[in-house]
Chain A
Amino acid sequence: MTQQIAIKEGLFTWPAEKPELLGSRCIHCGEAAFPAQNDCRACGSRETEITALGNRGTLWTWTIQSFMPKSPYLSDETPETFKPYGVGYVEMPGGVRVESRFELIEGQVPHIGMSLDLVILPFRTDESGQEIMMFSFKPAEE
């Protein structure tokens, strides 16, 4: 069976039944950051803790990446197989806006304020055959 590994440890809880994004929160000023960092970018304190940021958010702004990016983009695609993807900032319950890819739905134009659910998807396969898993979002189904 293909082994799946996260694109980077510590970005999201995984494997998990209901994965969440992970960030850090300053124990002094309470500001959150993603990805987690040791120092607080708001107040400069060096005391932060890992915190779950949630798995449903609201789209704050967006665009569509319509052409295949060059390096440092690293995927299995070719310019022929490349599929445009959404990129946006998603306002998370944890109190921070996280930049993320999101899945585009045929015939549906993204809009500010739309509700999005976190998904962990295979992004590419590395040299040793492992699937690299990346966080993304898809429109929430109510």
Chain B
Amino acid sequence: MDVAIIGIGLHPFGRSPTLTGQQQGASAIRTALADAGLTWKDMQFAYGGSQDGGNADALVNELGLTGLQFTNIWNGCATGGSSLHAAYTAIKSGEYDIGVVVGFDKHARGAFNPKPSDWGLDDWYGESGMMLTTQFFAMKFQRYMHDHGISNDSLIRVSEKAFQNGALTPTAWRREALSYEQIANSMMVSDPLRKYMFCSPAEGGAALILCNANIAERYTKKPIYLKAAAVRTRHYGSFEVFSPSQAMNVADAPTVTASKAAFELAGLGPKDVDVMQLQDTDSGTEIIHMAENGFCEHGEQEMLLREGATKIDGAMPVNTDGGCLANGEPVGASGLRQVHEICVQLRGEGGARQVPGSPKVGYTHVYGAPGLSGVNILTR
């Protein structure tokens, strides 16, 4: 049995000072329901999550107390991916025919400030100034540059493309294109990563209506099929955030295993993918994720980026809506924003940012603390 996405909704990312996180989640659900021509009463189940925006199941206060099964999901940066995976299995198992996934968030300004004990760590680790995601991504990329001959030029080109795409995306937060020089000369935050190479915590909401593919055409002329959803965690030896020590032998990242599992489930390979969303909490991770998801070899990114391969009109368009760099990262909503964008592209509704050639296969990938990854493969 296949699972179809029949409705998509976003509450614009960025800042919504007058709305709570939950209101932004409800706003995304209303948009998705309207897109599918359905009402809240039609929903048999819901999965949803948020990091700082409160409980997802409290959305029923706004949308209606219909008695549906509503399960809160919290799984770090893979919260959206995990909600989607839960919905995918609920429909595939035959238990439910139609339901919704939602993610939303509302973060304070500035970098995240995690509590060591939430991550199974002692206080000294945070107190001494080593518990910053920005440091980890910088260190991971510093080593990657050393091992695979990638230069700062690649980092700059990823950011340049992100803000170009953001400028074309009405729901994006950062809608101003930045020049190569502006990015190259922006403040150094954590060597080698500069200010315009990091995404920022933000606000926003995203929702998807899913159903059994057999009934999808009742609701839409353009169903998008969720061919695979896979979530994986880290192995011993993979180099992960919030690790006071690392093993000497570096193992494959969870992205590699999630990606392989998803391709196997879908019966497709990297060459089949026409448009992709790869987690870009910073420019360096987008570069690493191109290879970890199987779309190129490690080290090939330098040349691919110089050729513009990842731009909207390139051979492998990445983050056509500007990704996390241009949309910010409301953690609970971010993974579903990626799926939303792939649905837009596969429906051919991308407007100024539409990938040419009627893309058929899309791919989404999230990666987050403390070492987990979620991959989805979608087709039309």
Complex Cα spacing A87 to B243, Å: 13
Complex Cα spacing A61 to B142, Å: 6
A interface residue count range (under 10 / 10 to 19 / 20 to 34 / 35 or more): 35 or more
Q: Which of A75, A85, A99 sits near B243, CB closer than 8 Å?
A: A99
A 37-72 to B, binary, CB cutoff 8 A, 1 in contact else 0: 000011000000000000000001111111101111
Q: Which of B111, B132, B244 sits near A34, CB closer than 8 Å?
A: B244
Binds A, one of B60-68, B118-126, B293-301: B118-126
Binds A, one of B9-17, B23-31, B95-103, B185-193: B185-193
| Chain A residue at minimal CB-CB distance from B116 | A72
A113 → B minimal CB distance (Å): 9
**Is A25 an interface residue, CB under 8 A from the partner?**
no
- Quick check: B247 and A61 within 8 Å, CB to CB? no
B260 → A minimal CB distance (Å): 22
**Is B270 an interface residue, CB under 8 A from the partner?**
no
Complex Cα spacing A101 to B236, Å: 23
**Is B128 an interface residue, CB under 8 A from the partner?**
yes
**Is A74 an interface residue, CB under 8 A from the partner?**
yes
- Tell me the residues in window 234-262 of chain B with beta carbons closer than 8 Å to chain A beta carbons: 236-237, 243-248
B 225-236 to A, binary, CB cutoff 8 A, 1 in contact else 0: 000000000001
- Tell me the residues in window 134-188 of chain B with beta carbons closer than 8 Å to chain A beta carbons: 135, 138-140, 142-143, 146, 188
B126 → A minimal CB distance (Å): 3
| Chain B residue at minimal CB-CB distance from A71 | B113
| Chain B residue at minimal CB-CB distance from A123 | B128
- Quick check: A64 and B190 within 8 Å, CB to CB? yes
**Is A98 an interface residue, CB under 8 A from the partner?**
yes
**Is B130 an interface residue, CB under 8 A from the partner?**
yes
* B190 contacts across to A, CB distance below 8 A: 63-66
- Quick check: A101 and B130 within 8 Å, CB to CB? yes
B188 → A minimal CB distance (Å): 6
**Is B94 an interface residue, CB under 8 A from the partner?**
no
Complex Cα spacing A76 to B191, Å: 24
**Is B218 an interface residue, CB under 8 A from the partner?**
no
* A71 contacts across to B, CB distance below 8 A: 113, 126
Which has the most chain A C-beta neighbours within 10 Å: B123, B126, B139? B139
Complex Cα spacing A95 to B248, Å: 7
**Is A31 an interface residue, CB under 8 A from the partner?**
yes
* A69 contacts across to B, CB distance below 8 A: 111, 129, 131-132
- Tell me the residues in window 272-305 of chain B with beta carbons closer than 8 Å to chain A beta carbons: none
Q: Which of B110, B127, B138, B140 sits near A72, CB closer than 8 Å?
A: B127
**Is B114 an interface residue, CB under 8 A from the partner?**
yes
**Is B306 an interface residue, CB under 8 A from the partner?**
no
Which has the most chain A C-beta neighbours within 10 Å: B110, B123, B244? B244
- Tell me the residues in window 70-96 of chain A with beta carbons closer than 8 Å to chain B beta carbons: 70-75, 85, 87-89, 91, 95-96
A6 → B minimal CB distance (Å): 9
Complex Cα spacing A23 to B245, Å: 10
- Quick check: B244 and A35 within 8 Å, CB to CB? yes
- Quick check: B189 and A96 within 8 Å, CB to CB? no
Q: Which of A63, A89, A112 sits near B191, CB closer than 8 Å?
A: A63
- Quick check: A8 and B122 within 8 Å, CB to CB? yes
**Is B41 an interface residue, CB under 8 A from the partner?**
no
| Chain B residue at minimal CB-CB distance from A29 | B236
A 98-124 to B, binary, CB cutoff 8 A, 1 in contact else 0: 111100000000001000000000010
| Chain B residue at minimal CB-CB distance from A67 | B189
* A85 contacts across to B, CB distance below 8 A: 129
Complex Cα spacing A7 to B114, Å: 19
- Quick check: B191 and A64 within 8 Å, CB to CB? yes
* B128 contacts across to A, CB distance below 8 A: 7, 73, 101, 123, 134
| Chain B residue at minimal CB-CB distance from A60 | B143
Complex Cα spacing A60 to B113, Å: 26
- Quick check: A99 and B146 within 8 Å, CB to CB? no
* B140 contacts across to A, CB distance below 8 A: 61
- Quick check: B122 and A73 within 8 Å, CB to CB? no
Complex Cα spacing A35 to B116, Å: 14
- Quick check: A33 and B110 within 8 Å, CB to CB? no
- Quick check: B129 and A96 within 8 Å, CB to CB? no
Complex Cα spacing A100 to B124, Å: 12
| Chain A residue at minimal CB-CB distance from B142 | A61
Excluding A7-B127, A61-B146, A71-B113, 18 further A-B contacts by CB distance (< 8 Å) are A8-B122, A32-B245, A33-B245, A34-B245, A61-B139, A61-B142, A62-B142, A63-B139, A69-B111, A71-B126, A73-B128, A73-B131, A74-B127, A75-B127, A87-B129, A89-B139, A99-B245, A112-B143
Q: Which 6 A-B pairs have the closest CB atoms?
A: A72-B126, A63-B138, A61-B143, A34-B245, A74-B127, A8-B124
By a beta-carbon cutoff of 8 Å, the part of chain B in contact with chain A is: 110-111, 113-116, 122-124, 126-132, 135, 138-140, 142-143, 146, 188-193, 236-237, 243-248
